Chain A
Amino acid sequence: MLGEGILKGMAETARNFVGSFVSAERLTTVQYPEVREDPVENARVFPFLIFDTADPEAGLRCVACQICEKECPPKCIFIEKSKDKKPDYVGKQQFYPTRFDIDVSVCMSCQICVEVCPFEAIKMDTQFELATTDRFSGLLFDRKELSKSNEYYHQIHPTEAAEVDARLAEEKAKADAKAKATADAAAAKAATPPPAAKPAATEEGAGD
């Protein structure tokens, strides 16, 4: 009959109306500033740079390859490459960024910088309260503000961080094995003519 559906709908909303006063689990609202929910693991807001050792300057994984700067769709990343080199996490000599700025107001949280980074150096943060009263320099994050430790990364994205660490360890093992292999080969080569050259070759291999 005409009007039946309307009555059913009205009954449903009346049930919601009364139910929301009776049972608390119906209300899903979180009273935000007072009550906070932990962000879900896959949450992503804004990129940050990872450093490994205790010193954020020395342990920064970023090698200033500038791929992220080129790939960034809104062009919010600005990198200045260093002139000199310093050893990275595998001990290889690499460039490092003397300046690494990201503009919060321009970033669109697309995560493309994270996807393209071959060094696992840039990751997405879950920190979302980035509002500031200074709309120019307050929204431009420099290298110091962007660097966060690997432990912090483990804290916010545990699964992803474990995967990254495993991958890095594998790479490091591979690099070590390769270094060892080249060292051994060099040693073997050196061993055939005069046996006296052997200790010098091992030293060379260790230094690689």
Chain B
Amino acid sequence: MIDKMDQIFVLLQHWLVAFLPLSLQPVASVLLAVVAIVCVFPGLFALTTVFERKGLARIQNRIGPNRVGPFGLFQPVADGIKSLTKEDIVPSSANAPVHFLAPIVLVVAVFMGFAVLPMGRNMVLVDMDAGLLFYFAMGASTEVSVFMAGWSSRNKYSLLGAMRAVAQMISYEVVLLLSSVSVVMIAGSLSLTKIVAAQSGYTGYFPHWYIFTPWGLVGFIMYAIAATAETNRSPFDLPEGESELVAGYHTEYSGFKFALFFLGEYLAMFSISGLGTTLFLGGWSAPFSFFTFIPSWFWFFAKLMMSIFVFIWMRGTLPRLRQDQLMNFAWKFVLPLTLLNLMVTALWRFMGEGWARWGVCSAILIAAYILMGRVGMYKEHFGPRRYRYAE
């Protein structure tokens, strides 16, 4: 029974596919899985928008949307109808084909990332040997769409937003990749299913997730910072900084194209949270050995939603960074620490079992964190400015 619940979606797929002739079955099974992904994540997006608005409201001691449907739960429906009925404006001097393609490229590239994420035991669309590599290839192509949008709009705000976005995404892409490399070093595989399998054991009640190791914790924090910057979320939401750039690269988008951008951003957030879950939080494995009776897909989505909640929480707390602060933070703090983390991971790998490696690795990382926090992020405090000519 427990096994059946765990595999319910896989069994459902097999049962449905069995109605078709044998020659069509492989295609049908893939199509079914694609349809499932294309339905589930936008549904999750709709729910997340309303929960984000309500969560942010609660953080600011407000109530949030509560008019459409019970507790305002149908708000996304109203929003969807609104964005569908709005006029779709293309600026007369815009490059129309590129302007049209940009949101589509974004959504398609983001959806491709979901193909390799294991969302439960045996629940992965394509079990690629180099799944991680594929994921990052797809993730990097979202930058193209952002720049397409900014460039083709022929608007100063769009272009500035796009340039900020590209600078930011490239800076943090490096960190994102390097922090995942340490996981690959330990798991010894680029396949995401193998990475999850490597974390699925238990010692006593406790799981073997990579976040519970010194290098894993640091790697996860660096990954989370880079992921926030990659998805243009607050406090790294400079590309769309509404107080200075109207809406950044999607200033000139309205109606359904804007909705697609919005969807793409949230889907990117889901997929990057899903990858973080897979790499550091044990994917679909249960947090305690006595919780293994709960289906694996439940754990995957629970962890995903927890990450989303933290994203929202951070958005409600932190103010936006300045461009120089963003770059300094990436290149002077996050990147050196990630590189050091790679060394520490290697040390962890070759020091063998035992408590010694815990002590040594933790000591190195904590010392580096404090030192880099002091030195790397050190700012000279200038006194009041004096003008010699005025004296």
Contact bitstring B368-382, A, C-beta under 8 A = 1, else 0: 011011100100000
Report yes or no: B61 in contact with A13, Cβ–Cβ below 8 A.
no
Given the contacts A1-B373, A17-B55, A12 and B61 also touching, CB distance less than 8 Å: no
Q: Are A10 and B373 in contact (CB under 8 A)?
A: no
Q: Are the C-beta atoms of A26 and B317 separated by less than 8 Å? A: no
User: Could you name 6 residue pairs across A and B whose Cβ atoms are closer than 8 Å?
Assistant: A2-B373, A2-B374, A3-B373, A6-B317, A20-B58, A27-B62
Question: In the complex, which of the residues B61, B313, B377 contacts A26, with contact meaning CB atoms closer than 8 Å?
Answer: B61
Which A residues touch B377, using CB under 8 A? 2
Contact B61 A10 (CB under 8 A): no
CB < 8 Å: which of A1, A10, A29 contacts B63?
A29
Give bound CA distance, A73 to B239, whole Å: 41
Contact with A along B290-332 (1 / 0, CB 8 A): 0000000000000000000000011011100000000000000
Closest to A29 in B: B63
Residues on the B chain within 8 Å of A28, using CB: 61-62
Q: Interface residues of A, CB < 8 Å — how many?
A: 18
Indicate whether A136 reaches chain B with its CB closer than 8 angstroms.
no
Cβ–Cβ < 8 Å partners of A27 in chain B: 61-63
Could you say which of B316, B333, B372 contacts A13, with CB atoms under 8 Å apart? B316
Q: Which of B55, B58, B314, B372 contacts A10 (CB 8 A)?
A: B314
The verdict on B59 contacting chain A, using a C-beta distance below 8 Å, is yes
Cα(A6)–Cα(B370), bound, Å? 15
Q: List, in ascending order, chain A residues with CB within 8 A of B61's CB.
A: 16, 19-20, 26-28
The reply on B60 being an interface residue by CB < 8 A is: yes
Extra inter-chain contacts (18) besides given A2-B370, A17-B313, A28-B61, CB under 8 Å: A2-B333, A2-B373, A2-B377, A3-B373, A9-B318, A13-B317, A14-B313, A16-B58, A16-B59, A16-B60, A16-B61, A17-B55, A17-B58, A20-B62, A26-B61, A27-B61, A27-B62, A27-B63
Q: Which residue of B lies closest to A21 (CB)?
A: B58
Chain A residue with Cβ nearest B319:
A9
Per-residue CB contact flags for chain B residues 355-372 toward chain A (1 = under 8 Å, else 0) read: 000000000000001101
**Nearest chain A CB to B318's CB is how many angstroms away?**
7
CB under 8 Å from chain B, chain A span 16-44? 16-17, 19-21, 26-29
CA distance A131 to B101 in the complex (A): 42
Label chain A's interface by main secondary structure: helix
List the A residue with the shortest CB-CB distance to B369. A2
Instruction: Please determine whether B59 and A13 come into contact, CB atoms closer than 8 angstroms.
Output: yes
Q: How far is the CA of A8 from the CA of B314 in the complex (A)?
A: 12
Contacting residues, chain A, for B318 (C-beta < 8 A):
6, 9
Chain A residues with CB below 8 A from B62, complex form: 20, 27-29
Shortest B224–chain A CB gap in Å is: 12
Nearest 10 interchain pairs by C-beta: A2-B373, A13-B317, A20-B58, A13-B59, A9-B317, A26-B61, A17-B58, A29-B63, A20-B61, A17-B59
The CA of A9 and the CA of B319, in the complex, are separated in Å by 10
**Complex: how many Å from CA A29 to CA B373?**
41
Task: Give the Cβ gap from A33 to chain B, nearest Cβ, in Å.
Answer: 10
A:142-196 near B, CB below 8 Å: none
Q: What string of 1s and 0s marks CB contacts (under 8 Å) between B252-287 and chain A?
A: 000000000000000000000000000000000000
Interface string of B31-66 (1 = CB under 8 A from A): 000000000000000000000000100111111000
A67 to B106 CA separation, bound complex (whole angstroms):
62
Known interface pairs A27-B61, A27-B63, A29-B63; A13-B313 also in contact (CB < 8 Å): yes
Residue from the set B61, B313, B314 with the largest chain A CB neighbour count within 10 Å = B61
Cα distance A20–B59 in the bound complex, in angstroms = 8
